[in-house]
Structure 1
Amino acid sequence: MNVKPGISVVVPVFRSAATLALLHRRLVSALEEMAIHFEIIFVEDGATDTSWTAIQSLARDDDRVVGIRLSRNYGQHNALLCGIRAACYSSIVTMDDDLQHPPEEIYKLLEKLDEHCDVVYGTPEREQHNFWRDQASRITKIVLQGAMGAETARHASAFRIFRTRLRDSFCNFRGPFVSIDVLLTWGTTRFSHIAVRHEPRVVGVSNYNVRKLFNHAMNMVTGFSTIPLQLASMIGFGFTLLGLGILAYVLGRYLIEGVSVPGFAFLASIIAIFSGAQLFTIGIIGEYLARMHFRTMERPAYIVADTVMDATRRDENAVSNTSVDNM
């Protein structure tokens, strides 16, 4: 695919029909003011509302809009991967569809990208989520830092800009578990961030809750690092030392005092501790085995059900109607 100078804005869409028109107007206004070539790629992620109808209407009225509809709900990062692979300009901006990421702040990201960076995150000056969502987001970023091995992970955000050439590093990525932030580390170590406005949600509530953020954190760690396995090894080693210490205590008391350690409670506690440690480590190993199982099934990260774009652009930048592995 030929890459041209300009910006491709990728927006995963899920149940946001009410905000798409306003988001489009603000994006067009902000990008035209920057006097740069651009396209807006809306990836509809299996929503059940009228989001796809709204995207089709925007694409008919504006030939810079590309609409991609996935066959079902695959998740935000999977939808982002689809849009990233369809982008045709030299820089890619990703942002949410709820207008909490102001389009007017894109110029800050672009200016920072020119300072010898490959990826720039738009870090919110002040989060506009509820308390539990904010705490879950912080925990996810800490986990992401472990998976990425980069301090910038603490400032990670869905509002980001990066050089399109980075996608070459994960062009052959296969599997249903996707983390765009981790995939970007496969192509560069030059990350940065800049403070941007973070506005209150205009319509509805966030589709990301604490459970989804926890699942995303688990997918990142078990899918892109071996930290849990190392933790399991450390736990096993630690409890081995504990067992040797208990054995030394029992033998020492018998040899010195001539009596054994009495009590069912003592034995039951030791058995419970060791059993819990074993089940925990087996669970970690099971998580990795499950991901290996899913990879052998060759489940695609997404499947495109429909696309809408200008006829000329369709010839230049066709989006495959099959999985990511065929793109």
Structure 2
Amino acid sequence: MRKKLSLAVPVYYEQEVILQFLKETKEVLDTLPVDYEYVFVDDGSKDKTVEIIKEQAKTNDKIKMVVLSYNHGKAFAATAAFTHASGDYILYMDPDLQDPPHEIPVFFEKIQQGYDLVWGIRREKKDKFINRLYSRVFWGTLNKYTGLEIPKGIAVMRMFTREFADNLLSYKETNRFVEGLFMKVGMNYTTIEIDQRERFAGVSKFNFKRKMQLAFDAIFDFSELPLKFAVRLGFFLILGGLVGLVALVIARLFFIDYQAGWPSLVALIVMGFGLQLFFLGIVSIYIGRMYRETKNRPLFSVKEYVNLGKKES
């Protein structure tokens, strides 16, 4: 019996690339000894992305789509794609064609060797210097302080088994850093190097604000680094304050006859108050994230299904 491969593809304002993505992937997938399907998840696009995919789905039942009711974020869109994928193997990739479809057979061949997960590693990141620097600092810091040991230079493109997907979907937390969850599932994984291309059309939606949000989520979801930083900083401030106090007393008694003024006192009070708010803010963030988890809300809200036999329109 032939195996089935599901392409899990989150989309967000991708009207300029969808048709080319379908064309290139179909050319490759038709050469593989496997049945396949596309599982697109639209994450609140307001352009013609949904219309284009719907039109293609009318004549091709391999094309399926979940339309989310609003923009949830890529981690949730990816989770929705994994949830509705029915294949024995799942290939997670972006539609922008930076991770080229001609690499799909390499992933398929590798996972046949008994691996549960095959990561794509970019030989050379086609991006601006500042983005490459950000990635290097971000992944280096994350691995050092979380112990996740995420492979360096990972691409979005990766393939995993049905068993791996089921384990991944058992993680129900609302605060979702997908790469961290992949590493938490563990199992037997390997990497392969792939060539990255320039984006086919349009611009990346992963702007600086989204990158910082990703870094924020990763650090707070998988480490206690901010809390440890607060404790250490507090310790050094206390130590520094004690040393400064002793130094002032010694100076006043033996060396300098001075009169302390209120400006220095006010400055110290303001600084101390600010530090207290900073530390309380860090603790509050953790408490807030725990509060969201206790609500146990659904991870995503679906507006419409296409070719999935559920609430279709």
TM-score normalised according to structure 1 size = 0.83
Percent of aligned pairs sharing the same letter: 26
Q: 1:59 and 1:144 mapped to 2: Cα distance?
A: 40
Q: 1:283 and 1:320 mapped to 2: Cα distance?
A: 43
Q: Is the CA contact 1:14–1:51 (under 8 Å) kept in the aligned structure 2?
A: yes
**1:97-152 Cα shifts (integer Å, max 9, x gaps):** 11111111122233444555433322222222233333333343235425752333
Q: 1:161 and 1:149 mapped to 2: Cα distance?
A: 23
Letter in 2 for 1:217: A
Letter in 2 for 1:232: A
Q: 2:298 and 2:151 mapped to 1: Cα distance?
A: 27
Structure 2 vs 1, CA of residues 70 and 146 (structure 1 numbering), >3 Å: closer, same or farther?
A: farther
Letter in 1 for 2:82: I
Of 65, 85, 104, which residue of structure 2 is paired with 1:106? 104
SS of the equivalent of 1:302 reads coil
Match of 1:79 in 2: 77
Q: 1:114 and 1:247 mapped to 2: Cα distance?
A: 68
Match of 1:242 in 2: 240
After TM superposition, give the deviation of residue 189 of structure 1 in Å: 5.5
The answer to whether structure 1 residue 171 and structure 2 residue 181 are counterparts is no
After TM superposition, give the deviation of residue 262 of structure 1 in Å: 4.5
Q: 1:175 and 1:261 mapped to 2: Cα distance?
A: 57
After TM superposition, give the deviation of residue 192 of structure 1 in Å: 3.4
Q: Is the CA contact 2:148–2:180 (under 8 Å) kept in the aligned structure 1?
A: no
Q: Is the CA contact 2:304–2:311 (under 8 Å) kept in the aligned structure 1?
A: no
Match of 1:131 in 2: 129
Q: 1:83 and 1:198 mapped to 2: Cα distance?
A: 23
After TM superposition, give the deviation of residue 320 of structure 1 in Å: 8.6
SS of the equivalent of 1:18 reads coil
Match of 1:90 in 2: 88
The equivalences for 1:149-298 within 5 A come to 149-188=147-186, 190-254=188-252, 256-257=254-255, 262=260, 267=265, 270-271=268-269, 273-298=271-296
Match of 1:304 in 2: 302
After TM superposition, give the deviation of residue 81 of structure 1 in Å: 0.2
State which drifts further: 86-95 or 183-192: 183-192
Stretches of structure 1 that go unaligned for 5 or more consecutive residues are 322-327
Q: Is the CA contact 1:102–1:199 (under 8 Å) kept in the aligned structure 2?
A: yes
Match of 1:6 in 2: 4
Structure 2 vs 1, CA of residues 319 and 277 (structure 1 numbering), >3 Å: closer, same or farther?
A: farther
State which drifts further: 166-175 or 219-228: 166-175
Structure 2 vs 1, CA of residues 234 and 154 (structure 1 numbering), >3 Å: closer, same or farther?
A: farther
State which drifts further: 165-174 or 233-242: 165-174
Letter in 1 for 2:93: M
**1:279-307 Cα shifts (integer Å, max 9, x gaps):** 33222112212222333444432111111
Of 43, 46, 52, which residue of structure 1 is paired with 2:44? 46
State which drifts further: 69-78 or 253-262: 253-262
Structure 2 vs 1, CA of residues 45 and 83 (structure 1 numbering), >3 Å: closer, same or farther?
A: same
Letter in 1 for 2:49: S
Letter in 2 for 1:129: D
Letter in 1 for 2:150: T
After TM superposition, give the deviation of residue 238 of structure 1 in Å: 2.2
Match of 2:138 in 1: 140
Q: Is the CA contact 1:120–1:162 (under 8 Å) kept in the aligned structure 2?
A: yes
Q: Is the CA contact 1:120–1:193 (under 8 Å) kept in the aligned structure 2?
A: yes
Q: Is the CA contact 2:44–2:69 (under 8 Å) kept in the aligned structure 1?
A: yes
Structure 2 vs 1, CA of residues 269 and 192 (structure 1 numbering), >3 Å: closer, same or farther?
A: farther
Q: 1:10 and 1:248 mapped to 2: Cα distance?
A: 64
Match of 1:122 in 2: 120
Q: 2:106 and 2:259 mapped to 1: Cα distance?
A: 69
Q: 1:261 and 1:115 mapped to 2: Cα distance?
A: 78
Letter in 1 for 2:193: A
**1:71-116 Cα shifts (integer Å, max 9, x gaps):** 1111111100001011112221111111111111122233444555
Match of 2:53 in 1: 55
State which drifts further: 48-57 or 73-82: 48-57
Structure 2 vs 1, CA of residues 253 and 176 (structure 1 numbering), >3 Å: closer, same or farther?
A: same
TM-score normalised according to structure 2 size = 0.87
